[in-house]
Structure 1
Amino acid sequence: MEPIRVLQVVTVMNRGGAETMLMNIYRNIDRSKVQFDFLTHRLEEGAYDQEIQELGGRIFRFPPIRPQRYARYFRELDEIFSHHPEYRIVHSHINENSSFVLRAAKKAGVPVRIAHSHTSNLPLDYKLPFRYYGRFFFRENATHCYACSTEAGKWLFKRYAAQNSGVEILKNGVDYDTFKYDHEVRSKLRREMELEDKFVVGHVGRFDKSKNHAFLLEVFKEIHNVRTDSVLLLAGDGYLRPNILKKIEKLGLTGSVRLLGMRSDVARLLQVMDIFLFPSIFEGLPMALVEAQAAGLECIVSDAVSKESDIGAGLVRFVSLKEPPKAWAEKALNVSLNRVDSKEALIKSGFDIVHISRSIQDFYIHNAENYGELGAVDVLPGNAGA
């Protein structure tokens, strides 16, 4: 029997939060029963593309979505669903643009159409009016609405919930065994990176406005004023890289900040760190923060980040972005350097990837097999909550 093929719609399969969540699920499902294909909105290859193909997934690449090419984009969506009638489930992760994808899927007769919110805000740019325009079409085109957190659900869907259900929370799960603290790995990697006698501050995130790197660097400057042995590791990349380099030079931190680029070994890097800083301006539910807690790291986090990202292991301190960098630095300098075993908290709080993967797999199978004329049979993943 052929597996149910689910079309996952994303921007590009790089190592972002939503994409990493999807790959965690993909690795843990029974792919003889459910298989993933991916529709991306970048023509270049993503970091996960090779692994996707090795796992049996197909990748369809579209150009980036631009308002000036909406008409062409809508035709391209119609064409892909016309050429691939095998899809009974489309799961879209591109926030407000998901409404356009799901409208085309509905037109093609795809019975199960899922919109998934992964953020709690949008940047101010010329596309903002078009983004708000897209949000009006969820009620008529989505059969289910998911969000990584309550705030992400409220922001994207508001009153435009799915036609057959409300907004359900599907948490961004992680594999504890991949991230759990390992003293031997920490010691080995700190030697390799020449960090044995350093106070290591860490951050994982793409270089864009929402991650607030400018403020992060100011906080680290205050830390470095007190602890000259401190080093900041920045894992990630993005369009703000030149600005970040200029800021580092301006603050006199050139020898103390390391830009590590996009990394496939984040779990190992977390072993090296002593403290995790996360001063985001807005987030849905950040995977990087959950991963840091899985590694037992204490985290200093902005109060703009959803409280649902705290797994309950006592590792997160929320701090207002109204507080000056020096206040953030004081809190970072007073954390405990003793790692915490967070496995029990991770499972209890619903972030265990094995359970999440099994739940979403059961959801896909049940709805693909039991869809009737009135719509999808509304059996939601067991870890979901209102």
Structure 2
Amino acid sequence: MKSSHAMQLINVLDFGGAESLALNISMYLNKLGKCQTSVCGLFGGEGPLVGHAEKNEVKVYFFKSDDGNRLKVMWNLYRLLKEQNVTVVQVHGSYLLQYAAFPAKLAGVRLIYTEHAKYSLCKSRKLRRNARYFSLLVDKVVCVSNDLKNFLINDIGVNPYRVEVVHNGVNLSAFQPKKIKTENRSDQDKLIIGTVARLSDPKDHTNLLHAFSQVVKIRPNLQLILVGDGELRPNIENMIQELNIWPHVKMLGRRSDIPDLLASMDLFVLASKREGFPIALLEAMACGKPVIATDVGGVKEIISNCEDGIIVQSESSEALAGAILKLSDDKALRDSIAARGYEKVQSNFSEQAMMEKYMKLLIPSGEYHES
């Protein structure tokens, strides 16, 4: 029986949504013993993902720099695919697709293109054009939401017969809503609002801070926790000072204990102005937390408004403030929304279900070996 080698192709060897998914897929296949697995950072040297990958017996490859030479990158990738006997490569994002399409085809490697968000595509006409052309060379296009699928088909021109939706999922065993970690709470009398998101423009912390500044004037017992780091950290720190809400806001930076931090929150808020299919939202719901999110990307595919979460207009601090105030003042409503959200994630968005779908795409029946 033929031995398969599934390679995940990412931008850099750092932790992000796509990067974490790529590593998790490799780890899942490793545990099943279905095939060889590896992760390749096309433009990134050693980063924090490397140690985690190697600890879980996932091979890691990377190219130090492209030096602005696309042909060099493509040649190096072609050689790697041939030397390592890769049988399928999953490329994450349209930018990498334009580098991977020809090398994969020349090497006789099946190509799966996974798109996580439309932010980059919306910004660049060239990237949209390339995504349309190079999608003709892929075996399957995977989208993380129906919203993204419709965008690729209707706005980019991708063949609908090539497109499949695989919703993101979460490791349900990592989140225990009944085991509240009270040690994360410095003041039991405060109601803690939190978010987990990279400090970058699409996550729109500006909107969240403006909304919180309105609400905390009315409910001074509120505290806001920001988990995550990014290029906008200095701007966000300055805004916290300018809005004079610094006594009520904690910036925790990048953390690995996300389940514990979520467990310490009373309310989770995602104020993004652009999203794909937000894993952070799923994680909060899996932890039994009531959630508020903006009406962007695949959020409506996760939340039924006013049933298992509250959806508000994006980039509207007034709408967001109103939703925060509503849930802050109504514990019964918070508990009801949290319970229904927890049940929805348990039923529809498990990591196991997601991984089984990716396995079928990456390792067709009869192509894998048992270790």
Q: Please indicate, yes or no, whether the TM-score normalized by the shorter chain is above 0.5.
A: yes
Q: TM-score, normalised by structure 1?
A: 0.83
Residue matched to 1:76: 76
Deviation, 1:280, is 1.0
Residue matched to 1:365: 363
Residue matched to 1:172: 168
Query: Residue type matched to 1:106 in 2?
Result: K
Query: Residue type matched to 1:280 in 2?
Result: S
2:148 corresponds to 1:152 = yes
Q: What is the aligned residue count? A: 357
Residue matched to 1:51: 52
Q: TM-score, normalised by structure 2?
A: 0.86
Residue matched to 2:254: 262
Aligned mates of 1:79, 1:180 — CA distance in 2: 45
2:162 corresponds to 1:161 = no
SS at match of 1:297: coil
Label 1:359 to 1:327 Cα distance change in 2 as closer, same or farther (>3 A). Answer: closer
Query: Which consecutive residues of structure 2, in runs of 5 or more, have no partner in the other structure?
Result: 328-332
Residue matched to 1:87: 86
SS at match of 1:135: helix
CA contact (8 A) 1:121 1:155 kept: no
Residue matched to 1:115: 113
Residue matched to 1:187: 182
Structure 1 segment 90-101 matched on structure 2, within 5 A: 90-101=89-100
2:212 corresponds to 1:220 = yes
Richer in helix (by share)? 2
Structure 1 segment 203-352 matched on structure 2, within 5 A: 203-306=195-298, 307-310=300-303, 314-321=307-314, 323=316, 325-335=317-327, 336-338=333-335, 339-340=338-339, 342=341, 344-349=343-348, 351-352=349-350
Deviation, 1:138, is 2.8
Residue matched to 1:356: 354
SS at match of 2:119: coil
CA contact (8 A) 1:293 1:311 kept: no
Label 1:6 to 1:369 Cα distance change in 2 as closer, same or farther (>3 A). Answer: same
Aligned mates of 1:285, 1:225 — CA distance in 2: 32
CA contact (8 A) 2:273 2:315 kept: no
SS at match of 2:181: helix
Query: Which consecutive residues of structure 1, in runs of 5 or more, have no partner in the other structure?
Result: 371-386
Label 1:90 to 1:274 Cα distance change in 2 as closer, same or farther (>3 A). Answer: same
Aligned mates of 1:200, 1:312 — CA distance in 2: 22
Deviation, 1:272, is 0.8
CA contact (8 A) 1:21 1:173 kept: no
Deviation, 1:363, is 3.6
Query: Residue type matched to 1:206 in 2?
Result: R
SS at match of 2:367: helix
SS at match of 1:8: strand
CA contact (8 A) 1:201 1:277 kept: yes
Deviation, 1:64, is 6.4
Give structure 1 regions of 4+ aligned residues with deviation exceeding 6 angstroms.
none
Label 1:136 to 1:223 Cα distance change in 2 as closer, same or farther (>3 A). Answer: same
Aligned mates of 2:60, 2:305 — CA distance in 1: 37
CA contact (8 A) 2:285 2:342 kept: no
Deviation, 1:352, is 1.1
Residue matched to 1:38: 39
Deviation, 1:43, is 3.2
Aligned mates of 1:261, 1:41 — CA distance in 2: 26
User: What is the RMSD of the two structures over their aligned residues, measured on CA atoms?
Assistant: 2.7
CA contact (8 A) 2:26 2:38 kept: no
Aligned mates of 1:207, 1:282 — CA distance in 2: 13
Query: Residue type matched to 1:258 in 2?
Result: K
Aligned mates of 1:225, 1:269 — CA distance in 2: 25
